Amino acid sequence: MSSRITLRVYIVLICVFFKQVNASVCEQQQIQLHVLGSGGPELDDGRASSSYLVLQGGQARYLLDTGSGASLRFGESQAEFEHLDAIFLSHLHTDHSADLPAFVKGAFFTRRSRDLRVFGPGGNERVPATSEFIQRLFSESGAFSYLSDYLVKGEEAFLVSGIDAPLSKAREQRYQLTENALAFSLATHHGPIPAVAWKLDFSGWKIVYAGDMNNKHKRLAGFAKDADLLIVHNAIPEFAGSIAKNLHITPSQIAQIAKESKVKHLLISHFMNRTQFRQQQLLKTLKASYKGKITVAEDLMILSL
């Protein structure tokens, strides 16, 4: 058992037996995931698009994707934007990134003074890299040029910068976020769109976010090995056509990855009208292979790890 996990076990034991004495330690350790958006790009699915907020000790720490509707849900979650360490984008489809400008502008009305790092995939001939995406949004020649001061050090309360994850499928990329927090990116296959999965490894916890992907590279199970939580998207049913399957993972592939990786908790999200009314079939497929905990996402659901 690694020393970090051993420390986590000790703290949990202290919390169980001496909670009244060590309340502040226990609260600092509490990890939650708020589902801000559990839908896809459709207008009539009744859900905000993809976005998940990781909290530690009740404070916002990491934001995974910023799909349309995420900024509204963020406010409803009562989280505070100034506490966020970083934003991680899985890819730049609108249902994963469209609310980024809304967060940057909305942050003007918060106490945020720390620079904001936005991690996301590198680009290809169809889609800009994350750093270029931010330039195209916020630079003086960008779509929201009135926010261009957020790209100039010292001009606004904080600076926005983009960090591009490599698209080589040969390796994971490691990022040191803070002294006790790491992130890892893994290039995934999402049709012609650059996409990455993210792993957050902090204070002894591992949360893996697969984003939109199919399992062409067959590397997600290894990437998510023994994670405390794996977030996977169910955008297509089992019998989908070849174009949809080139973009998205099927329920039986999700089940196989969850089983292989031995993740403790599986969160299924990104429902579309073609999948959100087939959740019983989805659960049957998952439970046939995977024996861990399964949660079906709804907007504003809170998971305590």
Q: Which is nearer to Zn ion, 93 or 265 (CB)?
A: 93
Look up residue 195 and give its amino acid: A
How distant is the alpha carbon of residue 47 from its chain centre? 16
Name which position in 47, 61, 93, 112 contacts Zn ion (CB under 5 A).
93
Q: Which is nearer to Zn ion, 98 or 255 (CB)?
A: 98
Q: Is 73 in the site for Zn ion (CB under 5 A)?
A: no
- Output b/e per residue, 80-108; b: 16+ Cβ within 10 A: ebebbbbbbbbbbbebbbbbbbbbbebbe
Are the C-beta atoms of 65 and 33 separated by less than 8 Å? no
Residue window 163-202: x/- pattern of binding to Zn ion, with contact defined by CB under 5 A: ----------------------------------------
Minimum separation from the CB atom of position 28 to Zn ion (A): 35
Q: Which helix (H) or strand (E) holds 265?
A: strand 265-269
Q: Is 245 in the site for Zn ion (CB under 5 A)?
A: no
Q: Is 299 in the site for Zn ion (CB under 5 A)?
A: no
Are the C-beta atoms of 77 and 113 separated by less than 8 Å? no
Q: Is 270 in the site for Zn ion (CB under 5 A)?
A: no
Residue window 17-36: x/- pattern of binding to Zn ion, with contact defined by CB under 5 A: --------------------
Q: Which is nearer to Zn ion, 204 or 251 (CB)?
A: 251
Q: Is 45 in the site for Zn ion (CB under 5 A)?
A: no
Minimum separation from the CB atom of position 234 to Zn ion (A): 13
Q: Which is nearer to Zn ion, 91 or 199 (CB)?
A: 91
3-state helix, strand, coil in the chain (%, to 5): 30, 30, 40
Q: Which is nearer to Zn ion, 151 or 213 (CB)?
A: 213
Residue window 195-214: x/- pattern of binding to Zn ion, with contact defined by CB under 5 A: -----------------x--
Look up residue 56 and give its amino acid: Q
Q: Is 99 in the site for Zn ion (CB under 5 A)?
A: no
In angstroms, the Cα distances linking 95 to 37, 42, 91, 174 are 9, 9, 9, 26
Q: Is 65 in the site for Zn ion (CB under 5 A)?
A: no
Number of chain positions touching Zn ion (CB under 5 A): 2
Minimum separation from the CB atom of position 190 to Zn ion (A): 6
For 34-83, the three-class secondary structure string (H helix, E strand, C coil) is EEEECECCCCCCCCCECEEEEEECCEEEEEECCCCCHHHHHHHCCCCHHH
> Which candidate, 293, 302, 241, 242, places its Cα nearest to that of 263?
293
Q: Is 248 in the site for Zn ion (CB under 5 A)?
A: no
Q: Which is nearer to Zn ion, 29 or 269 (CB)?
A: 269
Residue 53 tokens read as 């907020």
Chain positions contacting Zn ion, by CB under 5 A: 93, 212
